[in-house]
Amino acid sequence: MAVKRKHIIITAIVFCVIVIAAFAGSLSSGKSEKFFVVEKGTFEATLNCKGEINGLVATPIPMPKILGDRDLRIWQLKILDLAQDGKYVKKGDFIIQLDASQIISGMREEQQNLETEEADLKNAKIDSTVRLTALREDIKNAKLDLEYNKIDLEQSIYESAAYQRKAQMTYKKAENLIAKKQRDYLLEQNKLKMQVARSEERVKRSTERISKFQQAMQAARITAPEDGIVIFGESWDGTKYSKDGDISTWSNGPPIATLPDMSEVISETYVKEIDISKINVGDKVRVSFDALEGVIIDGNIKSIARVGEDHKDFDMKVFKVIIHLDESNEGLKPAMSSNNAIILADEQEALYVPINAIIKENGENFVYLRKHNNKEKTLVTVGFENEEFIQIKSGLKEGDKVILNPLLEES
């Protein structure tokens, strides 16, 4: 009985020792989790931004210039039908059909106007012929009168001086009348020429407008200028072109569609103005795709916009950034979304600490070191940061123990 009691007591003591040791270990473990030992290692920081894939080179399909000719007075047209967005097309394949009813109506109106103008021209030519013929007959009769007066003047030498004077004046008056009629003839001739020329110009202009309407009817059916994948553009309000929608005929506007060449690929993305100073042309980028699981393609920044712009998806100014991919992939399609990880820092022998070890005061960065059970506030210079760690440029060395959440530690 005594032996059994002794065995129970020993077992109880051992159990207590184990519990106390486990509790002490847990305290020690909890205590150690509040420190981070600084070591050199691989450090990477990235700036992540969404982008849109496109071909480096794309053939635009603009609005045909003839449709935007102001002489036709057509400002917008309805889309009757269009090819499937993202479809591969060959040169000459159908892209979009625009409603030509306005064009047909305008051409009919102009054809009626041409008939009127041609009738006016015919009448102007007839009037000109009749009027000038009459004036020429009038000049011819005036010349006959002058001949008669000349004979009378020659016979007046046998008459009195007064009669001779009268005959001279009559002859001179007849000469002046012929000169006036000839001047009037030239003036009338020029006047009628101008009237006929203006009428001919109206006929010519009307004929040219009809020719433009005919060209516009043919241009209302738009085909692919090259082989490629058709990507339809957007109107001024940002909506993508679609069936039964309206499209502006302004030829200097955005293209109706583009045919990107996907042999060389870019990703268009936007970077907030607070981050734009962190990146530079030539920075490396890792590009992945939501639609292509496991596909990662390296690239680099090709260009950065010099001027910021407003964007509907951001609450601040953004800068457009073009990323050039090192290679293409058969699964890549125009307008596909991409995940762009711009590499800000990639060092093999870097010092870094957890972000929650850094204290910011008055624009400077500090950490608290644990030295011989004492806390020591230390100024540090930091670099880039990722989701967990921040790079230390100066102020720390390998082996230093930094306190995590030092403000909580104080409390």
Count other Cβ atoms within 10 Å, centred on residue 25.
10
Distance of CA 255 to the CA centre of its chain: 8
Question: 257 to each of 60, 203, 236, 270, how far by Cα in Å?
Answer: 6, 38, 14, 22
Nearest to 283 by CA among 323, 328, 338, 327: 323
Q: Given this model, what pLDDT does residue 408 score? A: 74
Nearest to 34 by CA among 405, 410, 368: 405
Pairing of strands 401-403, 35-37: antiparallel
The model's pTM is 0.60
Contacts of 307 (CB under 8 A, 6+ apart): 319
- CA–CA distance, 50 with 289 (Å, rounded to integer): 10
317 in Cβ contact with 308 (< 8 Å): yes
Q: What are phi and psi of 73, to 5 degrees?
A: 60, 45
Tens-digit pLDDT string for the chain (411 aa): 444 454 455 555 544 444 343 333 333 333 444 889 998 899 999 999 999 999 998 899 999 999 999 999 999 999 999 999 888 899 999 999 999 999 999 999 999 999 999 999 999 999 999 999 999 999 999 999 999 999 988 998 888 999 999 999 999 999 999 999 999 999 999 999 999 999 999 999 999 999 999 999 999 999 999 988 899 988 877 788 999 999 998 867 788 999 998 889 999 999 999 999 999 999 999 999 999 999 999 999 999 999 999 988 888 999 999 999 999 998 898 889 999 999 999 988 899 999 999 999 988 999 999 888 788 899 999 999 888 999 999 999 998 999 998 877 555
Say whether 134 sits in a helix, a strand or coil. Answer: helix
- CA–CA distance, 160 with 170 (Å, rounded to integer): 15
